[in-house]
Amino acid sequence: MSHSSLTRSALALALLSAVSLPAAAATRVEVQAGRSYMDSHGANAAFVEAVFDPHPIGASRFTWSPDVSLGWIDGRDVARYDRMEYTTRPPVTLLAGGARLRTSDESAWYHPFFFSFQLAATNHTTQALSSHYQFVSTLGWQARHFTVALRHISNGSIQEPNRGETMALVGVAFDL
């Protein structure tokens, strides 16, 4: 995929995410950092995530919130992949958009937990992320100004290899 095609895809994803947001939505911004692993090889990772006002899911006790992320995963020096089509060396930047799911019952002990699912576009392909389109799944816990999350990024076997990135992130949060 060419750089201009990826740029257009990322811009389209950002615009689609923005169109779905109400103009006066309150925004929670999280700045997250941690360690990502492909197999047993680690790399640093950082994300900035914006989570918007929750919306009820029918008559259930659950809500969904529009959720957009800009992320970076550093490259790795794994020599055995250097001569392959996909190496581990380039750092990857990704733009993702989707939804964060939570319970609406603020008195429940599990209210701070969330699950999010996003679709992402990347600027590079690697052994871990071998296509420019990825699925992002996150299971986390959020307090007023703090977040802890486990995140997995994978192309869902759309293209091989499909090693994926699995990371533990901690973050600080604030409301705009």
Q: Rounded distance, CA 59 to CA 29, Å?
A: 28
Radius of gyration of the chain (CA): 17
pLDDT of residue 173: 97
The pTM (predicted TM-score) of the whole model is 0.84
pLDDT of residue 32: 98
Q: Is 175 helix (H, G, I), strand (E, B) or coil?
A: strand
Q: What is the pLDDT along the chain (176 residues), one digit of tens a residue?
A: 555 555 555 555 554 555 444 444 689 999 999 999 999 999 999 999 999 999 999 999 999 999 999 999 999 999 999 999 999 999 999 999 999 999 998 899 999 999 999 999 999 999 999 999 999 999 999 999 999 999 999 999 998 998 999 999 999 999 99
Buried b / exposed e along 41-69 (16+ C-beta atoms within 10 A)? eebebbbebbbbebeeeeeeeebbbbbbb
Q: Rounded distance, CA 37 to CA 40, Å?
A: 6
Q: SS3 helix, strand, coil % of the chain, rounded to 5?
A: 10, 50, 40
Q: Rounded distance, CA 91 to CA 99, Å?
A: 25
State the number of CA atoms in the 13 A half-sphere of 173 facing the CB: 19
Q: What is the domain partition of the chain in residue ranges? A: 3-175
Which residue is it, tokens 């599990």?
110
Its CATH class, for the domain covering 3-175, is mainly beta
